[in-house]
Structure 1
Amino acid sequence: MFKKTLLATAILASLTVHAAQARTFQVGMGDPMDSDQGALAQRFAELVEQYSDGEMTVDLFPGGQLGPETGMIQDTRIGSLDMAFIGVGNLTPYAPKLGALTMPYSLRSHADAVKATTGPLAQRWNDIAKEEAGVKIISWLYSNFRYLTNSDRPVRNLEDLQGLKVRVPQNEMMLATYEAWGANPISMSWPEVFTALQQGVVDGQDNPYIVNYTMKFHEVQDYLTEVHHQYSLQPLVMGVRTYDALSEEERRIIDRAGIDAQLYALQFQLTGAVTAREGMEAEGVEVSTLEDEDEWIRIAQEEVWPAFYDKIGGQEAFEEFQSILGY
């Protein structure tokens, strides 16, 4: 009996030491758990724990619990937060060359988005993020195109868009784009959007299907138009100083889990967008496609692109990026 007691005590002590040595990473999220951010985050957490045999765990903080994206990126850069989901547009103030991914119509299909974030191009953006913003891109979240919604009228062409008050993020490029198309863009932080739509401060906004549906915009928006001007990419980033402080094995596990979760999230997005569209239509939202999208593209290329070449690394670099995508 005494030997059995000693054995049990030893096992318990071993488990206690193992638990104490387990490394826990905190991940900040702006969106709720029932979103595509949540899908990638949960899968990433599962894979990290699996690949590390439980020696590494991930705690998720959804719904802006750790603050807005602008604050979370600062926290990851200085190392007070391990990881966070940050929209590419919110990374560009720190790494302007990433703005190539947000230029209107720089990505025009799901295939473009995947090609731009895998292989040599993925390495290009990661090098820029590390050198300029001090963060490493662990995984890319594909959130689909930012489709335009509004409560005023169906938008099927540029004429329908004229004068429409559209909320846009605090992003100079998106403001310039909607202005070039003849809309009245209004910059507004994310927490204010639903109330602004509800009260008629703005007529509309743009976001991917899943975001539109999970945020219940169908309750205050009657129309949706599939505009393919910007593919919403939300990388999961880790501060370079945090990443470099990990052991080689820990870095390998984080990298592997990030890539595998990225593939999982892409499939989730493609199927989830269909479900979200069906849900919005069932709630009475009228979905339209553009009759003249070539004209939207022409205006973007001729009026918006030239104004931002210098801010994203130059015209030559951007044209090289476009040629790789086949444009």
Structure 2
Amino acid sequence: MLKDVRRGSIDGAVVAINNVTPFSKTVGVLTLPYLVQSFDDAVKITTGDLGEHWREILSTEAGVRVLGWAYSNFRVLTNSKRPVSTLADLKGLKIRVPKNPIMIETWKALGAEPIPMAWPETFTAMQQKVVDGQDNPHTVNYTMKFYEVQDYTSECHYLFSLQPLIFGEKFFNSLSAKDQAMFTRAGIEAQQYNLLFSVSESEKAKQKMIEKGVEYMEIQDEDQWAKIAMDQVWPKFYDSIGGKVAVDDVVKALGR
């Protein structure tokens, strides 16, 4: 979809951050596992100086204008094979993942078997047991009716689903100054509304999944998940996302 925005086939879109990285390697920082560890982190990383930092990078590297962000909350794990609340439970589980190198390496490091797969194939793949599960925010899992083919949800926090609202630079620059200001204000307002909307809708979707019979569980040893992911996955991608210093700067800005 970002490709369509860049070439002007469509004017704008809301795109999952993991689908942005093929066009902007530096933004891959935002898909590092356990970089964003809370909703507050997600807000900090997309507003103020950090928010402006990503806007400049996406304009330069991807040729798109970011006018706001959507917050879809953390990607939680669903599966049809067994309850997962520890690393041991995760071992060998076949998980559908996007074709994103960082996400693939994360699930490998945690002991699962990631299977890269296009999004439209996901439901059928789970239905036919080609894969055991997948990860997405609660709202996506409920909207896509994954409760029909998944039995368990595990509340992991390895990746917060950030989605920039983007417009093509060519399109944006073709607007009058008045219209540019209007679009910019609308983007800010949309981001503020989504921030309020996301928390409540995520909880509602989780409860609806439970009502549909999906068993819900917390991760008992997620500190171990985080340590493995940060120790083993982060270093593999430093060179492609701007270097360790760039990552350290973001971590410092988050107050850690």
- Range into which the TM-score falls when normalised by the shorter chain: over 0.9
Which of residues 139, 146, 150 is equivalent to 2:75? 146
Equivalent residue for 1:222? 151
Is residue 195 of structure 1 aligned with residue 117 of structure 2?
no
Residue-by-residue CA offset, 1:97-147 (whole Å, 9 max, x unaligned): 101111000101000001100111010000000000000111101000000
Deviation at 1:318, TM superposition (A): 0.5
Q: Secondary structure at the match of 1:104?
A: coil
For residues 127 and 196 of structure 1, the distance between their equivalents in structure 2, rounded to whole angstroms, comes to 38
Which amino acid in the other structure matches residue 287 of structure 1? Y
Structure 2: where are the runs of 5+ without partners? none
Equivalent residue for 2:177? 248
Q: Secondary structure at the match of 2:240?
A: helix
Equivalent residue for 1:311? 240
Residue-by-residue CA offset, 1:18-72 (whole Å, 9 max, x unaligned): xxxxxxxxxxxxxxxxxxxxxxxxxxxxxxxxxxxxxxxxxxxxxxxxxxxxxx2
Is residue 96 of structure 1 aligned with residue 25 of structure 2?
yes
Deviation at 1:265, TM superposition (A): 1.1
For residues 278 and 73 of structure 1, the distance between their equivalents in structure 2, rounded to whole angstroms, comes to 32
For residues 118 and 161 of structure 2, the distance between their equivalents in structure 1, rounded to whole angstroms, comes to 17
For residues 155 and 247 of structure 1, the distance between their equivalents in structure 2, rounded to whole angstroms, comes to 53
**Higher alpha-carbon Rg:** 1
Structure 1: where are the runs of 5+ without partners? 1-71
- The alignment's C-alpha RMSD in Å is 0.7
Which amino acid in the other structure matches residue 208 of structure 1? P
Equivalent residue for 2:187? 258
Is residue 173 of structure 1 aligned with residue 102 of structure 2?
yes
Which of residues 283, 289, 304 is equivalent to 2:212? 283
For residues 78 and 196 of structure 1, the distance between their equivalents in structure 2, rounded to whole angstroms, comes to 32
Deviation at 1:301, TM superposition (A): 1.1
Deviation at 1:96, TM superposition (A): 0.6
Which amino acid in the other structure matches residue 81 of structure 1? I
Equivalent residue for 1:295? 224
Q: Secondary structure at the match of 2:99?
A: coil
For residues 195 and 211 of structure 1, the distance between their equivalents in structure 2, rounded to whole angstroms, comes to 16
For residues 218 and 194 of structure 1, the distance between their equivalents in structure 2, rounded to whole angstroms, comes to 10
For residues 16 and 205 of structure 2, the distance between their equivalents in structure 1, rounded to whole angstroms, comes to 21
The count of corresponding residues between Structure 1 and Structure 2 is 256
Which amino acid in the other structure matches residue 247 of structure 2? F
For residues 126 and 237 of structure 1, the distance between their equivalents in structure 2, rounded to whole angstroms, comes to 10
Mapping 1:86-165, distance limit 5 Å: 86-165=15-94
For residues 153 and 77 of structure 1, the distance between their equivalents in structure 2, rounded to whole angstroms, comes to 42
Stretches of 4+ moved more than 6 A in 1? Answer: none
For residues 53 and 196 of structure 2, the distance between their equivalents in structure 1, rounded to whole angstroms, comes to 24
Deviation at 1:80, TM superposition (A): 2.7
Which amino acid in the other structure matches residue 247 of structure 1? S
Q: Which has the higher contact order (CA 8 A, sep 6+)?
A: 2
For residues 8 and 175 of structure 2, the distance between their equivalents in structure 1, rounded to whole angstroms, comes to 12
For residues 105 and 30 of structure 2, the distance between their equivalents in structure 1, rounded to whole angstroms, comes to 16
Q: How many percent of aligned residue pairs carry the same amino acid?
A: 51
TM-score, structure 2 normalization: 0.99
TM-score, structure 1 normalization: 0.77
Which amino acid in the other structure matches residue 122 of structure 2? V
Equivalent residue for 1:183? 112
